[in-house]
Structure 1
């Protein structure tokens, strides 16, 4: 009997602060099983949050500067228009008109620059906020949760150890995905259909017959002779077949489910044939 193994690994390096489960413990999907601390990431988060505040202050200053530059621009525009009218009446010199026009153009450029400064402050806030979210997501990933419900098979690290990125912390067996692998010759494997019923008898408890389903038939032979030119040689080809345990049965007896147990698997090459009495499903009470 085998079960799907799922590794719980560290996505980022750090010190393993807590490890709340041991080998053999039952865990549920989403359960916190370990936590990793990273002082460096926490410091980086504080720095990113400080940068957000600094960028927000720069935005406030830019908005105030825009208001000031807008006032200067309005005054320079009015003064420039007034100078043009006075020039028509010859009440002002051309030199003074040129000076007022230059002041207006300078005020207009200063207003544009102030708006650009505000845009830079907005962009700086967005960058700083994205950094905050990135470091927060790292801290979230430092809390390790079980991806599936099952049983802890191996504990590969201990609290207090420094772990590297990608290092495995736990191995969890998914007790809802338990199966027995059998091997059949080509003529038998070719007649099987996925989803057909199967039976399993385990050596330690041979008085019981467990229901299962054919969930996989290998497309390539596990054992291939050097030459398969004759029909006799082709019959030697062995194909792997997986018999998936019934989900309701596994849920009912999940505390008794153990991997590594040997047993026998039975399939029908003709689904119309009834199961013999000795292969009638018999479950523990």
Structure 2
């Protein structure tokens, strides 16, 4: 007899805080099996959530400007324009005085430099107002968006890791091994508990190739189980391995001049039989009167 066995392992490191099931217990799909604890992961989630809050705030600042900031930039532009007007008048006046030799060339040059500086200041003020009214560049906005997505991914990953601290049964079955003990520390990937689907056990036979004649998928067999008082269990062949495996029947005069290989045959009980357990031996007979032991 064989059955599906699932060895459950933790994907993250943690210390066992509770293990409410024991060896031999019947469990149902979704039932809590083991609870782990990891203060490091919980602290990591706090950090990731804080980083996400910062990234979202930065994105908001990048995409929008407060009204008072726009008003301040407009005031700066108005002052810069007034400075240009004043610097232009000063330059024009000194240039006229220079023509009449009333002022020096140095004074005119200084006025020219002041006018150039005022013009550059006005250009900068215009650019600052444009930025305040229209927000940052497309590239800066893209960076802000990417930072938010990165922070969200970090929160999602840490949240998923914390969810892995809770281990639940994926099937209805029976606990066949429990390595998890309260207080025990497990590393990622370490098995903590094993579940076997005892309600869906099947028979597996290794059949010699010269005995395969008459055995086909869909045929029913009467299987005798010694552990159940030699009770006969009806089973249907559901699979025959397409490839032969080992050859433990060596060539003899009785079997011919070649080694005989074996083929794995799988048969499932037609009706549910709760008393069948993986590892039980079984005997099967078919019309050719050959009997095979497993």
TM-score, structure 1 normalization = 0.74
Counterparts of 1:30 and 1:183, CA distance in 2:
35
Indicate the larger mover: 203-212 or 38-47: 203-212
1:189 corresponds, among 212, 230, 235, to 212
C-alpha contact 1:26 1:151 (8 A) present in aligned 2 = yes
Q: Which has the larger radius of gyration?
A: 2
Counterparts of 1:49 and 1:35, CA distance in 2:
24
C-alpha contact 1:189 1:217 (8 A) present in aligned 2 = no
CA pair 71-190 structure 1, distance change in 2 beyond 3 A = farther
2:267 corresponds, among 238, 243, 247, to 243
Counterparts of 2:6 and 2:287, CA distance in 1:
32
1:191-230 → structure 2 map (5 Å cutoff): 191-218=214-241, 219-223=243-247
Q: 1:145 — aligned with what?
A: 168
Q: 1:8 — aligned with what?
A: 8
C-alpha contact 1:198 1:268 (8 A) present in aligned 2 = no
C-alpha contact 1:45 1:135 (8 A) present in aligned 2 = yes
Question: Which residues of structure 2 form unaligned runs of 5+?
Answer: 93-114, 289-294
Question: Which residues of structure 1 form unaligned runs of 5+?
Answer: 270-285
1:168 corresponds, among 183, 188, 191, to 191
C-alpha contact 1:8 1:147 (8 A) present in aligned 2 = no
- 1:19 and 2:43 equivalent? no
Q: CA deviation at 1:179?
A: 1.5
RMSD of Structure 2 on Structure 1 (CA)? 3.8
Q: What SS does the corresponding residue of 1:126 show, helix, strand or coil?
A: helix
Q: 2:103 — aligned with what?
A: none
Q: 2:280 — aligned with what?
A: 261
Q: 2:125 — aligned with what?
A: 103
